[in-house]
Each structure stands twice: as structure tokens, then as C-alpha cells.
Chains A and B, each alone.
Chain A
Amino acid sequence: MEELPGLLAAHARLALVALGAALAIAVPAGVLAHRRPGLGRVLTGAAGVVQTVPGLALLALMVPLLAALALPSIGVLPAFLGLTLYGVLPVLQNTAAGLASVDDAAREAARGVGMTERQMLFQVELPLALPVVVAGVRTATVWTVGMATLSTPIGAPSLGNLIFAGLQTRNYADVLTGCVASAVLALLLDGLVRLLELGTRVRRRGLVRTGLAGLAALATLAFVPLAASSGSSASPLRIGAKTFTEQYVLAEVLAAEAEEAGAETEVVASLGSTVAFDALRSGEIDVYVDYSGTLWATVMERPLEGAVRATLRAEVPRWLEATHGIEVLASLGFENTYAFAVRPETAAEGLRSLEDLAPRSARMSIGGDYELFRRAEWEAVRAGYGLGFRERRPMDPALMVDALLRGDVDVIGAFSTDGRLAELSVLTDPREIIPPYDALVLARRGFRAAYPEAAARFEALEGALDAATMRRLNQAVDGQGEPPREVAQRWRSARP
């Protein structure tokens, strides 16, 4: 919870800047849309199309877009762009509608008393349209603050960090804190905007001043920590983590090692699976942990036949180095493979392996993480064992075990290092279709030269974690609700 002030500030910063940019674009665009109805239809149409893209997808789409333009593709920039685009429509629409609602008699009078077109816009049309414009601004405010929580998976810190990490580590207090803080921020900003509009309309200087002072105070709280911290170090060593418990723990292990080597660190948590690799490739993050089978199947797009441990151990590092200059610093010593698991009572009916599953799968439903059913591994397992389930349910990995135990699904595609796997029965893979998933510490091109001591410490992690240990650490977070950082530190201090 000690990160709350920092995350709140980052969240407010992101929302304020994006809202400011959205207003700067949308109000002039709304004026233009009113003046030229043909162009207005195009602008409103374009903004409307943006609006139909789900928020998370819009933010995620900014990543490849920026990468294609050779711009920083993860972090604050894509989040800022996505949020800005999202905020444009309500303000644009309401500005145009507000201007259209202005009585023509007022316009004729404005010309008749000798106003220029510009004076008419600023002294008559916009003031009369103000209540409608502000309604749009308030909609955009609430949307932007809420949607800023979704910028976590693309690497921009926000209150979403508490929500995403809290969901993964079953820390519902964190989830609630993130939601409440975001809601309070939205209501506060909305209230300030309302106060400003009311003060302007009824001409109460006091109200306007209070509103402006509130905005200024909020901006100060949001931006001051940035100014204070920017003095210390140019850029910290950035450690990526995907969206599940083990990744949070491993990122904290790497962060602690790097700090001991004298580096300042920053954990960029809750990155989408391929976002993490893209971020490493483009140098947005310095290190993260990925799994050999995932790299083989998803990044290298190689066939799964013949994907045995020896091949992967030789091929994956060679390919990463040759193609992207990425170095494998260590193989941590455990693998996190797909483990298809059932309830113990289902196993007791004679279900031991994926082969046993084939004749019964038509009556069963299977749950998996978001990407499982799109991955080559799933296709290989399904075809190899002749599986055909009644229903597939992609869901958040944190919820899978509960869903299985409750009977919502009959089989789950879990991860072999999941701490809670002990409560379940894992089906064997007699045909060895599932490839090995050794956990590898990957470093970006040029990392060793930039951080030689940290690189040496990471290399010393070779073989340091076995599967049983990793499961125990995951269980400490998932089961006992301990913070990943504490779990990582306890493991390190217990090491010989």
C-alpha cells in the first residue's frame, strides 16, 4: 500500500495531461465541425470509430503503432495517446452540438453590433454553448480517469497496478484500494469542472477561484513527485513482469539483485505477454523472465514437433542473440509448463492423463488463461489427444483454480508452478506434446555493457530456483497474501 501515493500521482498526471490534450484537440475540432458540417461528419465519424474500440484494446493497439513509428512503444506515451483519443469524442460532439444550439438571432446581433467572426465565436457562441460543452468535458473526465487504470498492461504506472497485481495475487484489499482511489479522483475532477462551469455561468468569482485552486492543487500533487525524483537518476534499470504472480516475484528477485549491484531499479509490472518481449526488443525494459517454450512457439513461431529440451536449450538463445541481440543470462532452474488439471474427485474416477480425457472431453468444459486457446501448444495438445470440449472459457489465471474447484469448469490449463496446484490433480502428458518451458532471464541488446555488475549477479542465478521452491513462493503470495517483494527478499536472505 506504500505505493498508493506514487501510483495516484502517476494516475492523476496521466489523466490530466490526456484530458488537456483531448480538450486542446476536441474544442477546435468541434468549432471546425460546426463551421463545416461536411468535415464535421468526417471528424465525428472518426472519433466515433475510436470510441467503439474497447478501451484496453485501444491502448494495446498504440504499442505496435508507436513501435512502427520507432517511438517509445510502452509506458506513458502509448497510454497518453490512447486516453487522449478516447477523450476526444464526447468533447468534440458536445462542442459542435452546443454551437448548433446557439440561437441565430444572437449570431445576427453579434455581426450587427460589429463583432468579427472571431469575436463572435469567443464572446457569443462559445459562452452560449458552454453548458453543453462542459457536459462533454465531464463525460470525458470520468472516462479518462477510469480508463487510465487500463494503462498498466502497456507499461504506464497507474492505479491499475494495484488492480491488476491485486487480482493476480488475490490481494483484494489492493484491488479495492485501486478502484476507490480511481473513483474518488474521477469524482473530484468532475466536481472541479462543474464548479468552474457553474462559477462562470452565474459569475461567482469565488466559485471559479475555488475550482482553479482545486485543479492547481491536484496538478501540483500529481507533478511534484516527478520533479523531486527526476533529480536523482536519469533512467533506472527497468525490469519487466507479465501479468501473473510468479512474474511479480521473479521481477522483485531481479530488482533486489540489481540494487545490490548498485543500480536503481523500476519494476514495470503487469505487461501483456507479447508486450513484454516487444518492450525488451525495443529496449523499453532491460530484463525480464520468459519461458523457452513460449519463446519457441509464440515468438519464434517454430513447430512443436521436435521441441525437446535439448533442442530448445541450444536454439532459443542462439536465435534471440542472432535476431534481436537479446542475451539469455541464466536459466533459473525450473520450468513453468502447462499443467492440465482436474478436481481430485474427477481424477478418482480414473482420469490420470490427457489420453484418459479424450473420450470424456465432449461432456466437459475447460478453462484457460487469455492466450491458451490461441496458442500452438493448445492446438497440438487438442489434435494430439483428440480432445473436443463442450465449452472453452478463457479467464484470468488468478480465478482458474477457484473456477475448477467450484465446478464452473471441469479441466483447467494451469501453470505447473502455481502454488495452489497441490489442491488439484495434474494430468500427465504421455505423448510428450507439451514443450519444455524453462524460465530464462533475458537481457536487452547492450545490457551487459551498460550494467556489467548486475549482469554478473543475474548470471549467478543459474539453477538457483527449483520448481518446488517456485511453487512455494507463489503459494506465499497467492495463498497467504504476502507481498511479492517480501517473498522475494525472504527467499534471497535464506539462500546460502
Chain B
Amino acid sequence: MSAPALRLSGLSKGFGAQPVVRELDLVVRAGELVVLLGASGSGKTTLLKMINRLVPPDAGRVELAGEDVAKLPGHALRRRIGYVFQRIGLFPHLTVAENVGVTPRLLGWAPERIEARVRTLLSQVDLPRELATRFPAALSGGQQQRVGVARALAAEPELLLFDEPFGALDPVTRDRLQGLVEGLRGRFAGVFVTHDVSEALRLGDRIAVLHEGRIVQLAAPEELVRRPAHAQVAALLDAPARQADAFGRLRGG
């Protein structure tokens, strides 16, 4: 059996005396998207940033395709992992095409190869080709985050990390971008952080519910909904369930 795309073991982080992530273990299989679901302060973003070492772990081990990455320099590690940022973070002085091609350029790809890759990606994220030469300021928020997704995919990464990427978008745009990720499903291994339960249920192959720095349940969406194993899971599911009931009553009545 081949090694999983990502294996975290005993990963810990504290800020001061406050533990944020506690001796956490997690495995992401090849082609699988694991959603980290949790309330604010549950440690999910810190956990995500420890995977590509934007936040250095206090203890524990990160393995990428079976390789312990502790000895890799941070920038070399991050070139192997795509990252979609909460604040989008496109470079305002670079065109859309240059933004998408930034990691391949850092890796020293030939210009023709970068150009071809950018063309493919722009069509994959449903952006018209003529946007390639525009600057980010000329794009809508939804278009910007499509570029953000394309940028994360550009260097054919071994793993994709999503840091609450659609939280700031309006519901319609968010739905479309979730559709985009859904459409790419199975083609990459990834970890997706969100506090939005319906987003987690829609996108996750498995969902890890984080509470006070620990995973309190790790399960497929159906399993999670049917058999919540922890009070916090039940509490998280409660709110969307009530919303769905209210919505159903309005529709039915």
C-alpha cells in the first residue's frame, strides 16, 4: 500500500501557555479532501498553517507522501503545497497570468510551459482568457478567488490547503466556487478549513471536527450527521439543521 498524501502525528502548538493544537494525528489519503470543521478558536487555521510551516509546530511530525518534511526549508516545502488564502492575497502589481504562474516561475519552469499551464488553469476555474493580462484590482471578489485557486493548483502540488477561502464572498458566489472545488474533486489531495457546516458537508470526503485543539470526531459526512460522537459535533450540526427545518416549513407552507 502506498503512503498517504499527508500524515500528521503528534502535532502540537501553543501560544504562550495556551495550547492551540494538542498532539494531533491525521491522515489524508491520495485524492481525498479532508475538511477541518470547527468554531473560531478551535485551532483549525493554526493546524493548517503548520502543515506548510507558515506556523512552525512546537512538536510532532509532518509527512508528505511518506517523506518527513522537517528538514526541508520552508520555502521549498511551500512550493510543493498549494495554498488558497482567506484574504485571497493576489499580488496587486502582477497580472492575473503572472499571479497564477508565480510558483512555477519560482521553480524555474520554462516560460512556454508556464504559459500553457496558466491557459489550462484559467479555463479550469472558468475565467475568460482575456482576463490573463488584467491586474487583480480589475476583477470581482469571486473572480479574484478563482485566480487564487488557479494559483494554488499551478505547480501541480502534492497537496492543496484551503484556509476558509470563501468566507468573505456573498452566498451566490460562494456556492459557485464550492461548485468549482466539487468539480475538481478526486484530482487532488487536500485539507479545507471552514466553520461553515454545510460547506463542510458538501465538499468533504471526510470531516474532522476540531474542538479545543483536538479532533473530536473524524468521519464521512453521512456518518457525522447520523451519529455525532461528541456534544460539540451535535452543537455544530444543530444550527444548520434548524435553518433547514425553517426553510422546509416556508417552502412546504
Q: In the bound complex, do residue B92 and residue A116 qualify as a contact, i.e. CB atoms below 8 Å apart? A: no
Assess whether B93 is in contact with A108, with CB atoms less than 8 Å apart. no
Q: How far is the CA of A112 from the CA of B91 in the complex (A)?
A: 12
Assembled-state Cα–Cα distance A103/B136 (Å): 14
Find out whether the CB atom of A114 lies under 8 angstroms from the CB atom of B90.
Answer: no
In the complex the two chains form, what is the Cα distance from A163 to B241 in whole Å? 85
Q: Which residue of A lies closest to B74 (CB)?
A: A111
| A106 partner residues in chain B, CB cutoff 8 A | 89, 91-92
Residues A146-176 near B (CB distance < 8 A) = none
CB pair A105–B87 under 8 Å, yes or no, is yes
Binds A, one of B22-30, B78-86, B200-208, B242-250: B78-86
- Out of B73, B83, B93, name the residue touching A112 (CB < 8 Å): B83
Decide: A114 and B89 in contact? CB cutoff 8 A: no
- Distance (Å) between the CB of A111 and the closest chain B CB? 6
Q: If the complex has contacts A108-B54, A119-B106, are A113 and B92 also in contact, measured as CB distance less than 8 A?
A: no
Q: A128 touching B93 by the CB < 8 A rule?
A: yes
For the complex, is A127 an interface residue (Cβ under 8 Å from B)? yes
CA distance A109 to B76 in the complex (A): 15
Q: Which residues of B contact A110 (CB under 8 A)?
A: 91
* A114–B78 CB distance below 8 A: yes
Tell me the smallest distance from the CB of A80 to a CB of chain B, in Å.
Answer: 35
Contact yes or no, A112 B52, CB < 8 A: yes
Q: Say whether B151 faces chain A, with CB atoms less than 8 Å apart.
A: yes
Q: Is A124 an interface residue (CB 8 A)?
A: yes
Of the candidates A109, A112, A127, A128, the one having the most CB atoms from chain B within 10 angstroms of its own CB is A112
Residue of A nearest to B90 (CB): A109
Check if A115 is an interface residue, CB within 8 A of chain B: yes
- The size bracket of the interface on B is 20 to 34
Contact between chains at B78 and A109 (CB < 8 Å): no
Q: Per-residue 0/1 for B219-245: is the Cβ within 8 Å of any A Cβ (1 yes, 0 no)?
A: 000000000000000000000000000
| Contact with B78, one of A105, A111, A127, A128 (Cβ below 8 angstroms) | A111
Contact of B93 with A109 in the complex, beta carbons under 8 Å: no
Residues of A with C-beta under 8 A to B103: 113-114
Q: Which A residues from 71 to 111 make CB contacts under 8 A with B?
A: 103, 105-106, 108-111
Cα–Cα distance between A124 and B91 once the two chains are bound (Å): 7
A106 to B85, CA, bound (A): 10
State A124–B87 Cα separation when bound (angstroms).
16
Return the contact of A113 from the options B73, B76, B88, B102 (Cβ within 8 A): B102
* A108 contacts B89, C-beta separation under 8 Å: yes
Q: How far is the CA of A108 from the CA of B89 in the complex (A)?
A: 7
**B113 sits at the interface (CB 8 A):** no
Contacting pair A112 B54 (CB below 8 A): yes
Q: Considering the complex, which residues of chain B in the window 42-81 have a beta carbon less than 8 Å from any beta carbon of chain A?
A: 52, 54, 73-79
Nearest B residue to A128, CB-CB: B93
With A and B bound together, what is the CA distance between A119 and B54 in angstroms? 16
Cα(A116)–Cα(B85), bound, Å: 18
Q: Pick the contact of B75 from A116, A124, A127, A128 — CB < 8 Å?
A: A116
What CA separation (Å) do A128 and B94 show in the bound complex? 10
**How far, in whole Å, are A119 and B78 apart by their CA atoms in the complex?**
14
Residues of chain B with a CB closer than 8 A to A112's CB: 52, 54, 78, 83, 85, 89
State whether A128 touches B89 (Cβ < 8 A). no
User: Using Cβ atoms and an 8 Å threshold, which residues of chain B touch A113?
Assistant: 78-79, 83, 102-103, 106, 151
| A109 CB contact (under 8 Å) in B75, B91, B106 | B91
Give the chain A neighbours of B77 by CB distance below 8 A.
114
Q: Which single residue of chain B is at the shortest CB-CB distance from A119? A: B106
A114, B91: Cβ atoms closer than 8 Å: no
Separation of A108 and B87 alpha carbons in the complex (Å): 9
Instruction: Knowing A105-B85, A116-B75, A119-B106, say if A111 contacts B91 (CB, 8 Å).
Output: no
* Closest beta carbon of chain A to B57's beta carbon, Å: 16
The interface residues of chain B lying within 8 Å CB-to-CB of A109 are 85, 87, 89-91
Q: Considering the chains assembled together, what is the distance between the CA atoms of A114 and B108 in angstroms?
A: 12
Chain A positions within 8 Å of B52 at CB level: 112
A445 to chain B, nearest CB (A): 60
List the A side residues contacting B78 at CB < 8 Å: 111-114
A493–B88 CA distance with the chains assembled, in angstroms: 84
Checking B54, B90, B93, B151 against A111 with a beta-carbon cut-off of 8 angstroms, the contacting residue is: B54
**Set of chain A residues within 8 Å of B88, measured between Cβ atoms:** 105
Cβ contact of A114, chosen from B79, B87, B93, cutoff 8 A: B79
The answer to whether B151 touches A128 (Cβ under 8 A) is: no
When distances are taken between beta carbons in the complex, the residues of chain A under 8 Å from B151 are 113
Residue in A closest to B95 when the chains form the complex, CB atoms: A203
A128 to B89, CA, bound (A): 13
How far in angstroms is the closest Cβ of chain B from A402? 58
Check A114 against B85 for contact (C-beta < 8 Å): no
In the bound complex, what is the Cα–Cα distance between A61 and B91 (angstroms)?
A: 46
**A114 adjacent to B92 (CB under 8 Å):** no
What's the minimum C-beta distance from A223 to chain B, rounded to whole angstroms? 34
Interface string of B185-213 (1 = CB under 8 A from A): 00000000000000000000000000000
CA distance in complex: A116, B106 (Å): 10
Report Cα–Cα, A109/B78, bound state, in Å.
Answer: 11
Q: Measured between alpha carbons, how far is A113 from B83 in the docked complex, in Å?
A: 7
Inside 8 A of A124's CB, which chain B residues have their CB?
91, 93
- B132 CB to nearest chain A CB (Å): 14
Q: Report Cα–Cα, A110/B92, bound state, in Å.
A: 12
- Please determine whether B54 and A114 come into contact, CB atoms closer than 8 angstroms: no
In the complex, what distance in Å separates the CA atom of A103 from the CA atom of B88? 12
Residues in B with CB closer than 8 Å to A114 are: 75-79, 103, 106-107
Q: Which residues of A contact B91 (CB under 8 A)?
A: 106, 109-110, 124
A contact residues around B75 at 8 Å (CB): 111, 114-116, 119
In the complex, which residue of chain B has the Cβ closest to the Cβ of A201? B93
Q: Which of B52, B83, B87, B91 neighbours the largest number of chain A CB atoms within 10 Å of its CB?
A: B91
Query: Contacts A106-B89, A108-B89, A109-B90 known; A115 to B83 CB distance under 8 Å?
Result: no
Q: Which residue of A lies closest to B73 (CB)?
A: A116
B90-127 contact mask (Cβ, 8 Å, vs A): 1 or 0: 11110000000011001100000000000000000000
CB distance from A128 to the nearest CB of B (A): 6
CA distance A124 to B73 in the complex (A): 20
27 residue pairs A–B, Cβ–Cβ below 8 Å: A105-B87, A105-B88, A106-B89, A108-B54, A108-B87, A109-B85, A109-B87, A109-B90, A109-B91, A110-B91, A111-B54, A111-B75, A112-B52, A112-B85, A112-B89, A113-B78, A113-B83, A113-B103, A113-B151, A114-B76, A114-B77, A114-B107, A116-B73, A116-B75, A119-B106, A124-B91, A127-B93
Q: Told that A109-B91, A112-B78 touch, could you supply 6 new A-B pairs with CB distance under 8 A?
A: A105-B89, A106-B89, A106-B92, A111-B54, A113-B102, A128-B92
Closest 10 CB pairs of A and B: A109-B89, A114-B79, A105-B87, A114-B78, A112-B83, A105-B89, A116-B75, A113-B103, A127-B93, A114-B75
